[in-house]
Amino acid sequence: MTIDKEQKISMPYKLLFVCLGNICRSPSAENIMNHLIEQAGLSASILCDSAGTSSYHIGSPPDRRMSAAAARKLGIKLRGRGRQFQKSDFQDFDLILAMDQENYQNILTLDQTKQYQHKVHLMCEFCSRHTLKEVPDPYYGGEEGFNQVLDLLIDACEGLLTKVMSDALSLPKGYEL
């Protein structure tokens, strides 16, 4: 797509994906999104990170079962280490994508002044082929749950990339995608 040079921005657009543990769903979303961003040639303009609402897996690599499914199904290696969502993330990111309602509510609760609520969305809002409203927690289930997570995330990430690219057209001067 062509973006009017007058509307270019210099700061990258920053996306944060959030689940409970930051070892299954949100690192998958982060890595799938990075894959799509690279394919679109937008790596310098859109930055991704992920976090968990819990402290359970701080410093841990992505779950082995999730990594195996991402490698087998998508050929994507999951990179990153678990970290916990922190209040400064509200300022540091442009969009915060929650995997399920519980994550969504827990994030909103941390925004005590309610000035960042507009940045927080459910990931499935961006799906066009799936009707599920949440990305289900696969942690205590079988292989099929991990595959379902990937199916939903591919759909959502494609929609999200389209949204970010179209929003760039209405960004104030000084912004660049």
CB of 137 to ligand 4NP, least distance (A): 5
Q: Which of 20, 37, 47, 154 binds ligand 4NP (CB under 6 A)?
A: 20
90's CB contacts (< 8 A; 6+ apart) are 96, 110, 111, 115, 116, 119
Angle (CA) 107 112 116, round 5°: 65
Residue with smaller CB distance to ligand 4NP, 19 or 76: 19
| Residue 21 is a binding residue for ligand 4NP (CB under 6 A) | yes
Tokens of 157: 């990430």
25 is catalytic: yes
Selected range binding ligand 4NP among 15-23, 30-38, 70-78, 88-96, rule: CB under 6 A: 15-23
48 is catalytic: no
Residue with smaller CB distance to ligand 4NP, 21 or 80: 21
Residue with smaller CB distance to ligand 4NP, 7 or 84: 84
Of residues 24 through 43, those in contact with ligand 4NP by CB under 6 A are 24-25
Query: Which of the following is catalytic: 49, 63, 100, 137?
Result: 137
- CA–CA separation, 56 and 78 (whole Å): 19
Residue with smaller CB distance to ligand 4NP, 45 or 67: 67
88's CB contacts (< 8 A; 6+ apart) are none
Of residues 93 through 152, those in contact with ligand 4NP by CB under 6 A are 137, 139
Q: Which of 3, 14, 40, 56 binds ligand 4NP (CB under 6 A)?
A: 56
Query: How many residues are there in the chain?
Result: 177
- CA–CA separation, 45 and 53 (whole Å): 26
CB of 161 to ligand 4NP, least distance (A): 21
Query: What percentage of the chain's residues is helix, strand, coil (to nearest 5)?
Result: 45, 15, 45
Contact assessment for residue 76 and residue 35, using Cβ atoms and an 8 Å cutoff: yes
Q: Which residues pair with 48 in a beta bridge?
A: 15
Binding site for ligand 4NP (CB under 6 A): 19-25, 56, 137, 139
